Amino acid sequence: SAVISQKPSRDICQRGTSLTIQCQVDSQVTMMFWYRQQPGQSLTLIATANQGSEATYESGFVIDKFPISRPNLTFSTLTVSNMSPEDSSIYLCSVSLGPPGTQYFGPGTRLLVL
Amino acid sequence: GQQVMQIPQYQHVQEGEDFTTYCNSSTTLSNIQWYKQRPGGHPVFLIQLVKSGEVKKQKRLTFQFGEAKKNSSLHITATQTTDVGTYFCAGRDDKIIFGKGTRLHILP
């Protein structure tokens, strides 16, 4: 398993501003993932972040809105840019370890945009 | 595109009763995973099933993967208050897709 931390744990932001979420893992991992989970809903994959290459975005998500950094094998950031109330959600990072596809999630960042 | 459907959306059971949630995929899966998310918490990996017809048990939890590798179920025997939460399946075809989850509520 992996120990994953995220900062901040929660934030309240004004529309039009940007927030950068940090994800730190206690071991080196090749792939890190960023998900969004709206209240009471399922998880939607935003993008996959590989160290040394550009992130791969899922349909409906673009780099200008959700820029991602992956400077090393234990750390990644997700920025939510030019926020609107529709961006209010829980943002989770996860890593894949052990049996292929097994994912471990961070505690999440609860974002409220006013 | 690939879809993963999960039913029921909600389930209320008396403590001690059994509970089952079902997951169906529109495509054949290479594997399926189950996660539990407690209220206010984050998803926690429970198990992964890979083989056609596979059945795995974890104490009171029984996980099944269908013969066609397109459906799966999670059955909890004699539910306890600690079982409260949302159970997600996640099917992997070319990418991983999460079901919408089944929210389990236990009545004391």
Beta strands in chain B (DSSP E): 4-7, 10-14, 19-25, 31-37, 44-49, 55-58, 61-65, 71-76, 85-92, 96-98, 102-107
- Check B33 against A102: CB less than 8 A apart: yes
The per-residue pLDDT of chain B, averaged, comes to 94
Q: What is the pLDDT of residue A101?
A: 66
- Check B42 against A106: CB less than 8 A apart: yes
Mutate which of B36, B42, B50 to disrupt the A interface (most A C-beta within 10 Å)?
Answer: B42
Q: What percent of chain A has pLDDT over 70?
A: 97
Omega before B43 cis (within 30°)? no
Q: What is the pLDDT along chain B (108 residues), one digit of tens a residue?
A: 778 999 999 999 999 999 999 999 999 999 999 999 999 999 999 999 999 999 999 999 999 999 999 999 999 999 999 999 999 999 987 778 999 999 999 998
Minimal Cβ distance to A102: which of B30, B45, B101:
B45
Instruction: Please write the tens of the pLDDT for every residue from A50-102.
Output: 888 889 999 899 999 999 999 999 999 999 999 999 999 999 999 988 766 67
Smallest CA–CA distance, residue A105 to chain B, in Å, is 6
Omega before A8 cis (within 30°)? yes
Q: Which two tokens stand for residue B67?
A: 């013969």
Mean pLDDT of A13-34: 95
Q: What is the pLDDT of residue A103?
A: 85
The model's confidence at residue A45, banded by pLDDT at 50, 70 and 90, is very high
> Biggest alpha carbon distance in chain A?
41
Q: What is the pLDDT of residue B54?
A: 97
Mean pLDDT of A2-31: 95
Smallest CA–CA distance, residue A50 to chain B, in Å, is 15
